[in-house]
Amino acid sequence: MAPRSLSFVLLLVSYAVASNSSATVSASASAFSSSTPVTSSTSSTSSASTSTSGVSASVSTTSSMTSYLATETEPPVFPATDPLYPPPVSADPVIVPDFAPAWAAAYTKATSMISNFTIAQKVNITTGVGWANGLCVGNTPPVGNFPGLCLQDSPLGVRDTDLVTSFPAGITTASTWNRALMRARGLAIGQENRMKGVNVALGPMMNMGRIAQGGRNWEGFGADPFLSGETAYETILGLQAGGVQATAKHYINNEQEWKRTQESSNVDDRTEHEIYAQPFMRAVMAGVSSVMCSYNLINDTYACNNNKTLTDMMKREFGFQGFIQSDWSATMNILSAVAGLDMTMPGDITFDSGTSYFGQNLTDLVMNGTVSMQRLDDMATRIIGAWYYLHQDEDYPNATEVNAQSDHYLIVREIGAAGTVLLKNEGALPLDKPKSIVLVGSDAAPPVSGPNEYTDQGGDPSGILAMGWGSGTDNFTYLISPYEAIQARARVDQTSVFWNFDDWDLASAGNSVIGMETAIVFVNSDSGEGYITVDGNAGDRQNLSAWHQGDQLILAVAAQNNNTIVVTNSVGPLIIEPWVEHPNVTAIVWANLGGNEAGNAIADILYGAWNPSGKLPYTIAKSPTDYPAQLVTGGTAADILSINYTEGLFIDYRWFDAQNITPRYEFGFGLSYTTFEYSNLAIMAINPADSAQMDLVQNWEDGGATPIAQGSTTALWLHMPAYKVTFNVKNTGTLYGGEIPQLYIHHPLSAGEPPSVLKGFTNVEVSPGQTTSVSITLSRYDLSIWDVVRQGWAKPEGTITFSVGASSRDFRLSGTIPS
């Protein structure tokens, strides 16, 4: 069928960076228009410089083009250093913010404040007052003029309160591959936290989707460190622009729920740096205020007791200046302060025990010299400093009884649509005034007993799945199901709508779709945090199949209707082999977890109000055993499980590529209702502007590793754009749409890297027949590998090539990094 004109929900994201006001986001849905291109600050399609000065070199490409290498001058470090006023969002960020001056100013104030505090007062700053003993899940007491802090979940909204927005989950946000949307969501969540009087938001969550079953994967940003890092980066810039302190969690290697407090994640140094630490490194570059150490052990030492990860990596190498708090009861003993922990949360050793590893114990250790006064001052300075750094000393609200929602539903709806991935479409979508539609499956329906049927969403969903379960949730103020959204939309087309929400009566499901023009089957798969078990799933998923016999439901419908569209709401990958190639399955819509506008976003995709642009943030395999790592289970109550990260750098698509395993749908894949053509690849070097850094740049160019120094991994020169890749993207279809061009690096074989690693992406929106010029920049960091012997980042010897394309396996152009 020929799709009709598409219309878009326009989101105009505007950042007010006037000196006296906090950054604001305003979102507005335009009237649906069929031909107006989306114009907003979300797109950045700056043209390639045509300067031809400099050395010329050839770039091999798969398209016919004139290749050239030119040079241009490095852009400046963003001068504004205040977290309330971050650099404006850009589809390809070229500006590296420097928050050091803001930290320095905050430290000066903090040092002055604590100068007259007693040891006990300083200790109080570092010690929570006990589980939920205050407005938040974590609270610190007032000390002198410092009012104390309220620390609250969750990564997708404000937990344990009402009149807040339920934003799309982290995994949905990552699936947009759209930095402006990531930033807008962060900002809106930050604003809601501030309105509710929260000082420290306990998110984002940035553990990697190492294992497909991982219970909390949906809170995070997928299975690639670069995509996770960029999503974390934008989210944090947004959250803190909204006024709340952000928390990068869970540091580090907390990739499964089973025995999360009794498992040692055993990870080699290079893998740790290149995969698992990358999002946390980006969090530090975004100026994050707080980091939460995790429950697990790393190489046999508990995360909150781990001097290597806390002090050497986070504070020395990344140059982190905020404070490290423990996960709830993850502090293991009184010496954790020596290892680098700055705050124990929620303060008591076990909930409501009235005891603490800090408190009087820490005071005693300082008194007897085991913990130095300097270290205690450092802890208190970091905590008070972070509070000043976010200007929370200036009129910070402590209200909780407020409606914090504003018009954030518009952002929820747009991210819900932009984070939906179209996996298959045999002409079934977008819907074109169908005569009849049948909605099949409970996932299409509103939950039977309201949107918050279980505490922390911890139960078998009876309706649409719009978030997982656990502390990473909030209470729905309302929840739009597909049933409501599609009915409302069907009224416009005067379509007959039928439904059958019973997942278990397959005969009835099959019968209900006979003779209907379109059958839409909704299936889901849930998971969450390990303190709640749902239907035998103790946090992690027991398998990768759709819940409620979803596979059979789809097959029962497809057996009776040759236009069966499948919509999934899943926390992560599913094995879809039983039905993916069924000739009657004409479309697959991978809708992730949409938050409180989930149904509207799905309807926007089905009807083409949003032309799909989302891309998978993980690989969908043909078999569970195709994935490089599996859940580790078992162990007695006393055992510490060993989880060996033996796949090393080869997680997700890196493994499939290296092992030549064909996935069902690869990382980065996603269809549109239009088509795109790539052409005219070029790459140019960017001259460093800051001559003071030239020695370091030259050392790196000569193959030297970055020095072992304070902040060595986040050094600005290492992250400034060093190369600019440009190319054209043409919309060769008939509908307006967005594309996500991706850039993958191929290191020389001797580097021991996976065949392809994502190092850049951007988003463009193009009208039919139009061509847009696109650029993606690469830093020296992007080209480096972690040298274990020299303990620094270095450029591997040999030729580095790259590809640009529409997924990790759909390369359209290729080139060589000039040496």
Helix H, strand E, coil C: the string for 591-616 is CCCCHHHHHHHHHHHHCCCCCCCCCC
202 part of the interface to ligand BGC, by CB under 6 A = yes
Q: Can you tell me the distance from the alpha carbon of 461 to that of 537, in angstroms, rounded to the nearest whole number? A: 13
- Provide the edge-to-edge strand list for the sheet that holds 757-761: 757-761, 742-746, 801-805, 811-816
Q: Can you tell me the distance from the alpha carbon of 172 to that of 186, in angstroms, rounded to the nearest whole number? A: 13
Rounded to the nearest whole angstrom, what is the least distance from the CB of residue 175 to ligand BGC in the complex?
Answer: 21
Q: Can you tell me the distance from the alpha carbon of 744 to that of 814, in angstroms, rounded to the nearest whole number? A: 9
Rounded to the nearest whole angstrom, what is the least distance from the CB of residue 247 to ligand BGC in the complex?
Answer: 8
Rounded to the nearest whole angstrom, what is the least distance from the CB of residue 126 to ligand BGC in the complex?
Answer: 17
Instruction: Between 456 and 647, name the residue whose CB sits nearer to ligand BGC.
Output: 456
Place of tokens 């747009």: 414
Q: Contact letters (x/-) for ligand BGC, 21-40, by CB under 6 A? A: --------------------
Rounded to the nearest whole angstrom, what is the least distance from the CB of residue 514 to ligand BGC in the complex?
Answer: 47
Judged by CB under 6 A, the residue of 137, 297, 410, 649 near ligand BGC is 137
Judged by CB under 6 A, the residue of 213, 325, 471, 772 near ligand BGC is 471
Q: Can you tell me the distance from the alpha carbon of 378 to that of 324, in angstroms, rounded to the nearest whole number? A: 11
Q: Can you tell me the distance from the alpha carbon of 799 to that of 815, in angstroms, rounded to the nearest whole number? A: 11
Q: Which letter does DSSP use for residue 779 in this model?
A: E
601 close to 180: Cβ distance less than 8 angstroms: no
Instruction: Between 156 and 411, name the residue whose CB sits nearer to ligand BGC.
Output: 156
Q: Can you tell me the distance from the alpha carbon of 630 to that of 693, in angstroms, rounded to the nearest whole number? A: 44
Q: Active-site positions?
A: 327
CB neighbour class for 154 (10 Å; exposed up to 12, middle 13-18, buried from 19): buried
Q: Supply φ then ψ for residue 87, to 5 degrees.
A: -60, 150
Rounded to the nearest whole angstrom, what is the least distance from the CB of residue 260 to ligand BGC in the complex?
Answer: 8
Q: Can you tell me the distance from the alpha carbon of 670 to that of 805, in angstroms, rounded to the nearest whole number? A: 12
Instruction: Between 11 and 202, name the residue whose CB sits nearer to ligand BGC.
Output: 202
Instruction: Between 471 and 814, name the residue whose CB sits nearer to ligand BGC.
Output: 471
Structure tokens at 812: 């359209």
Rounded to the nearest whole angstrom, what is the least distance from the CB of residue 202 to ligand BGC in the complex?
Answer: 4
Side chain identity, residue 620: I
328 part of the interface to ligand BGC, by CB under 6 A = yes
Which of the residues 272 through 311 are near ligand BGC (CB under 6 A)? none
Q: Supply φ then ψ for residue 553, to 5 degrees.
A: -65, -45
Query: What are the DSSP E strand ranges found in 229-384?
Result: 247-251, 263-266, 290-293, 297-298, 301-302, 323-326
Query: What is the sign of the dihedral through the CA atoms of 49, 55, 56 and 57?
Result: negative
Rounded to the nearest whole angstrom, what is the least distance from the CB of residue 248 to ligand BGC in the complex?
Answer: 11
Which of the residues 548 through 587 are near ligand BGC (CB under 6 A)? none
C-alpha pair distances (Å), 814 with each of 678, 742, 743, 797, 802: 11, 12, 9, 20, 6
Q: Can you tell me the distance from the alpha carbon of 203 to that of 235, in angstroms, rounded to the nearest whole number? A: 9
Side chain identity, residue 155: P
- Provide the edge-to-edge strand list for the sheet that holds 138-139: 138-139, 150-152, 200-201
Place of tokens 């960076």: 17
Q: How many CA atoms lie within 13 A of 236 on its CB side?
A: 31
Instruction: Between 153 and 224, name the residue whose CB sits nearer to ligand BGC.
Output: 153
Nearest residue to 441 (alpha-carbon basis) of 557, 590, 604: 557
Q: Can you tell me the distance from the alpha carbon of 417 to that of 606, in angstroms, rounded to the nearest whole number? A: 10
92 part of the interface to ligand BGC, by CB under 6 A = no
Instruction: Between 345 and 444, name the residue whose CB sits nearer to ligand BGC.
Output: 345
Q: Can you tell me the distance from the alpha carbon of 278 to that of 736, in angstroms, rounded to the nearest whole number? A: 35
| C-alpha Rg value of the chain to the nearest Å | 26
* Helix axes 409-418 and 179-195, enclosed angle (nearest 10): 150
Rounded to the nearest whole angstrom, what is the least distance from the CB of residue 206 to ligand BGC in the complex?
Answer: 11
Q: Contact letters (x/-) for ligand BGC, 422-461, by CB under 6 A? A: ----------------------------------------
Structure tokens at 244: 């709340």
CB atoms within 10 A of CB 55: 10
Q: How many CA atoms lie within 13 A of 393 on its CB side?
A: 14
Instruction: Between 137 and 411, name the residue whose CB sits nearer to ligand BGC.
Output: 137
Q: Contact letters (x/-) for ligand BGC, 245-274, by CB under 6 A? A: ----x-------------------------
From the DSSP assignment, how many helices (H) and strands (E) are in the chain?
A: 20, 28
Instruction: Between 153 and 604, name the residue whose CB sits nearer to ligand BGC.
Output: 153
Instruction: Between 137 and 158, name the residue whose CB sits nearer to ligand BGC.
Output: 137
Rounded to the nearest whole angstrom, what is the least distance from the CB of residue 179 to ligand BGC in the complex?
Answer: 25
First to last CA, the chain: 49
Instruction: Between 304 and 556, name the residue whose CB sits nearer to ligand BGC.
Output: 304
Which of the residues 357 through 376 are near ligand BGC (CB under 6 A)? none
Instruction: Between 176 and 471, name the residue whose CB sits nearer to ligand BGC.
Output: 471
153 part of the interface to ligand BGC, by CB under 6 A = yes
Rounded to the nearest whole angstrom, what is the least distance from the CB of residue 606 to ligand BGC in the complex?
Answer: 34
Q: How many CA atoms lie within 13 A of 746 on its CB side?
A: 16
Nearest residue to 248 (alpha-carbon basis) of 279, 211, 276, 222: 279
- Provide the edge-to-edge strand list for the sheet that holds 263-266: 301-302, 297-298, 263-266, 641-644
Rounded to the nearest whole angstrom, what is the least distance from the CB of residue 471 to ligand BGC in the complex?
Answer: 4
- Number of residues lying near ligand BGC (CB under 6 A): 7
Nearest residue to 207 (alpha-carbon basis) of 144, 150, 252: 252
Instruction: Between 631 and 778, name the residue whose CB sits nearer to ligand BGC.
Output: 631
Instruction: Between 27 and 341, name the residue whose CB sits nearer to ligand BGC.
Output: 341
538 part of the interface to ligand BGC, by CB under 6 A = no
Rounded to the nearest whole angstrom, what is the least distance from the CB of residue 117 to ligand BGC in the complex?
Answer: 27
Rounded to the nearest whole angstrom, what is the least distance from the CB of residue 408 to ligand BGC in the complex?
Answer: 21
Q: Note the residues at the interface with ligand BGC (CB under 6 A).
A: 137, 153, 202, 249, 327-328, 471
